[in-house]
Amino acid sequence: TVSEQFGDEAVTWNALLEEHDQLRQQQTAEKTLEKLVGHGGTDLSGACDALSQGLLLIDDHLIVRYANGAAAVFLGVEREQITGMVLTNAVEDEQLVDALQAAAGDQRQRATIEIEKEQDSGRGVFRFTIRPVRREDGLAAMVMIEDITQLRVADEARNQFVAQATHELRTPLTNIRLYLESLLEEESPDAEFQTNALNVINQESMRLERIVGDMLNVAEIEAGSLKLDMDDVHLDVIFSDLERDYQAQAEEKGIVLAFNLPPKLPAVHADRDKLVMAMHNLLGNALKYTENGGRVSVNVEVDEATGRLLFEVHDDGIGISPEDQSHVFEKFYRAKDRRISSITGTGLGLALAREVIRLHGGDIAVESELNRGSTFTLSLPAKAA
Ligand code: ADP
């Protein structure tokens, strides 16, 4: 600046200088803001673009000053069009509009709002986190958008699992308590009564143990932590054990149990215990859901074309309706057939068996006709001879 004693020109010169200075400061501020909310190219907005959450900065008129790519996708607006638009044009939800106004306006209120939206892929749930920001740069609020659909789906599944699990555990527990109480109340229980009650208690506690074991396995599978202990497994021993284990049970119900095995069985690479568990489930079900005097057969063969081992369990039992067939592999699902409710079970066996076999690269499929019988086929890659 020059001394103003030199006259009017000096005063004007100084005023000009000051104006210039202000202009320069303003330009610098604008450039910084532009970088921050910029149209790509800067590191910061590049980093924001990499976020899977949507990020928006709005001013006090709810005009979008910055939006990353994810925000445009969540709002269903073209990336090029989103900056400069009034945010409330892209959202319809009244509660959300109110919250945006309350954050960007004088109240400077924070809010977190969850909104359900129908999408092509089904129902989606989005969480909007709205925070007022320092006003210096002409900005008023920041909005973060997250897709929490999976979180909600997982929550629902967990709640359902807990509800069903509690229900399954309650029945055997109630039976144990009732029989124990009657044993305690009876002053001089006769031997037959005692044996009967103890048998029920024994059976029910084994049932509890099985249910808890199955649930732990299901939980491990869902957490992705179920480990397979793989080894070369020789099937002949497994099948002769299976036949021995189930022959007595079949005889009790007057069911003819037949095993048709090829003369030479291949070896498979598998977790022996888990494979046996899956086979037990299929054969156990066939005997459980076949009325007295029926017939159950186990056929084993190697499909030459695919090199797969096929373990097929056929019964002429109560069968499964087409509607139920599409659900029997779901956890806790039991057919809506009144004959099923009188037979104990948790609906976990098939779900577990199929998951375990799929982890081996195989599968389990069902073919069935109501009142005629069912065939469950377990297929597994066999080892080349
Ligand atoms: P659980 O036998 O404990 O109920 P599973 O998961 O093993 O559970 O089977 C699920 C359901 O599938 C059974 O409740 C039954 O309705 C149906 N199911 C399975 N195997 C057979 C079969 N061989 N014949 C008829 N229904 C069957």
User: Is the minimum distance from the CB of 126 to ligand 1 under 6 angstroms?
Assistant: no
Nearest protein Cα to ligand 1, atom 23: 286
The response to whether residue 318 sits with its C-beta less than 6 Å from ligand 1 reads yes
Answer yes or no: is the C-beta of 294 below 6 A from any ligand 1 atom: no
Determine whether the shortest distance from the Cβ of 108 to ligand 1 is under 6 A: no
**pTM exceeding the 0.75 threshold for the entire prediction:** no
Tell me the torsion sign for CA atoms 298, 302, 305, 308. positive
Q: What is the pLDDT of residue 51?
A: 85
Which pLDDT value is given to residue 41? Answer: 47
Structure tokens of 258? 């037949």
- Token pair, residue 128, equals 């909007």
pLDDT of 101 reads 92
Determine whether the shortest distance from the Cβ of 296 to ligand 1 is under 6 A.
no
Ligand 1 atom closest to residue 313's alpha carbon, by position in its atom list: 23
Atom index in ligand 1 nearest the CA of residue 319 equals 25
Residue nearest to ligand 1 atom 21, measured at CA: 285
| Average pLDDT, 10 consecutive residues per value, the chain (385 residues) | 82 87 71 58 72 90 91 90 90 91 90 86 87 82 91 81 81 92 88 91 88 84 85 92 90 96 91 92 96 96 91 97 94 88 85 93 97 97 73
What is the torsional sign of CA 301, 306, 309, 311?
Answer: negative
CB of 340 closer than 6 angstroms to any ligand 1 atom:
yes
User: How confident is the model at residue 335, as a pLDDT?
Assistant: 92
Q: What share of the chain is helix, strand, coil (3-state, %, to 5)?
A: 50, 20, 30
pLDDT value at position 40?
47
User: Measuring from atom 2 of ligand 1, which residue has the nearest CA?
Assistant: 345
CA of 247 to the centre of ligand 1 (A): 20
CA-nearest residue for atom 14, ligand 1, is: 334
Question: Is 214 within 8 Å of 348 (Cβ atoms)?
Answer: yes
